[in-house]
Amino acid sequence: MPKYVIERELPGAGKLSPQELQAISQKSCGVLSKMGPQIQWLQSYVTGDKIYCVYIAPNEAQVREHAEQGGFPANRISEVVSVIDPTTAE
C-alpha cells in the first residue's frame, strides 16, 4: 500500500503543549477509526511551524478525506516512491 508524507502548515506547532498535541492526536485517531483500517497513521514530526505526518493509505484521496474530516491542514501530500538510509550506500 502506498505511503504518504503530509506537510501541514501550523504556525507555532513547535510551541504546542503536550496536552494540545495529545488532543490533535486523539482527534486524528478518532477520524481514522471511523474511516476504517486501510488508512493508517505511522508517525509525525513537529517542527517550528509545520507538522510532517507519515501515513499509509490506498490513495491520496483518503489522506485528503482524513484531513477534511479532522479539520487538519494538508498543504502538501507527497507519495513516497523510495526509502533510503545509510545502508543504501553499501
* Domain ranges for the chain: 3-82
3-state secondary structure of 26: helix
Look at residue 78 in the predicted model and tell me its pLDDT.
98
Look at residue 63 in the predicted model and tell me its pLDDT.
98
Compute the average pLDDT of residues 65-73: 96
Q: What is the per-residue pLDDT across 1-57, written as a single tens digit (0 to 9) for each?
A: 999 999 999 999 999 999 999 999 999 999 999 999 999 999 999 999 999 999 999
Given the DSSP bridges, would you call strands 76-79 and 40-46 parallel, antiparallel or unpaired? unpaired
pTM for this prediction = 0.92
Look at residue 56 in the predicted model and tell me its pLDDT.
98
CATH class of 3-82: alpha beta
| Grid cell in block for residue 87 | 545502508
